[in-house]
């Protein structure tokens, strides 16, 4: 079985997507459509902007979504590029057996599975990014990654801190990102290192994603999601909030809303996908982050990327 996976914030780089834009007429049309929907030239930021431009949440999220979705769409113009040779096709298009995305990447996965249109997916991602940016201004905060420590012990230590700090991204065994106030992260970092964590590294992000500090953004995004038409996907999507497969549009919406303040259960997601038959993983979009994480979670599967 083949699984399509999609990266989240942090995978961006200057020049992302330009090769697709230059070499595929359909890709170029999708990029130009995105400029029109967003009301500004995101392609300029992606192709020739600065690292600082691409770190701004309202740019980063639609840029990664756009690159990921276009890369997936272009797979079906050159099917052999995937190298996975799945048996399931529909009108010449390669259909995955399952999909998943890390945080923001869940929106890309929903488009790839047909639950969301490209246009609606991009609009939601833009609204999500803007809402999150406002929440970051309202509650100055950040994230850190904990290396070489047990997940449950990280959670237990966070619960002892008298500030907002919570597990945010269960990325792979021995790597867990935490989110919280600056004071909460400082106190948690000291406690974690004292308890034996190998390293605790502050991340260069604008806020405490996947934490209670994103509640204002969650409330705003919920309204947008409820107004958006979701279809039954062509295959199950393994959602961040539960790490379980889902095809019911109503439940997908609820889980997508919960995702903004709940941790990303990526380790369990990959484990469940493998348990359910996934042996080929293809990451679409910028970077190779998910490929590395998947190899650490399940060493025996085939992983490759397309960008």
Burial of 160 (0-12, 13-18, 19+ CB in 10 A): exposed
∠203-223-205 over CA atoms, to 5°? Answer: 5
* Gyration radius (Cα) of the chain, Å: 18
Altogether, the residues listed in the chain come to a count of 307
Please give the Cα distance from 1 to 262 (Å, whole number): 29
Question: What is the distance between the alpha carbons of residues 31 and 27, in angstroms, rounded to a whole number?
Answer: 6
Is residue 210 among the annotated active site residues?
yes
Q: How far apart are CA 252 and CA 158, in angstroms?
A: 29
Pairing of strands 280-284, 302-306: parallel
Q: Give the active site residue among 58, 68, 103, 126.
A: 103
Catalytic one of 58, 102, 210, 280: 210
Annotated catalytic, 80? Answer: no
Q: Whose CA is closest to 219, among 167, 260, 165, 263?
A: 260
Active-site residue list = 103, 210
């Amino acid at each position: 079985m083949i699984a399509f996976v999609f990266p989240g914030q942090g995978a961006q780089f200057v020049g992302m997507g330009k090769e697709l834009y230059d070499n595929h007429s359909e890709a170029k049309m999708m990029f130009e459509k995105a400029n029109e929907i967003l009301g500004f030239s995101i392609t300029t930021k992606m192709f020739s902007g600065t690292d600082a431009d691409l770190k701004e949440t309202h740019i980063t999220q639609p840029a990664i979504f756009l690159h990921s979705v276009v890369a997936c769409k272009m797979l079906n113009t050159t099917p052999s590029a995937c190298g996975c040779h799945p048996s399931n096709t529909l009108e010449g298009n390669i259909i995955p057996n399952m999909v998943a995305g890390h945080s923001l990447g869940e929106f890309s996965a929903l488009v790839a599975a047909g639950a969301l249109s490209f246009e609606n997916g991009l609009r939601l991602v833009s609204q999500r990014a803007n809402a999150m940016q406002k929440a970051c201004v309202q509650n100055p905060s950040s994230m850190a990654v904990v290396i070489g420590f047990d997940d449950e012990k990280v959670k237990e230590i966070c619960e002892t801190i008298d500030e907002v700090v919570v597990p945010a991204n269960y990325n792979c065994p021995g790597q867990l990102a935490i989110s919280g106030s600056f004071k909460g992260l400082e106190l948690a970092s000291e406690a974690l290192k004292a308890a034996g964590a190998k390293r605790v590294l502050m991340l260069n992000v604008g806020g405490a994603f996947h934490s209670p500090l994103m509640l204002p953004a969650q409330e705003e995004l919920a309204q947008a999601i409820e107004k958006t038409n979701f279809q039954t996907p062509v295959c199950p999507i393994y959602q961040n909030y539960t790490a379980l497969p889902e095809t019911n549009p109503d439940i997908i919406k609820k889980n997508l809303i919960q995702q903004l303040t709940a941790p990303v259960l990526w380790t369990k997601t990959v484990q469940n996908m493998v348990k359910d038959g996934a042996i080929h993983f293809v990451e679409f979009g910028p970077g190779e982050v998910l490929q590395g994480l998947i190899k650490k979670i399940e060493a025996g599967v085939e992983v490759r990327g397309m960008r």
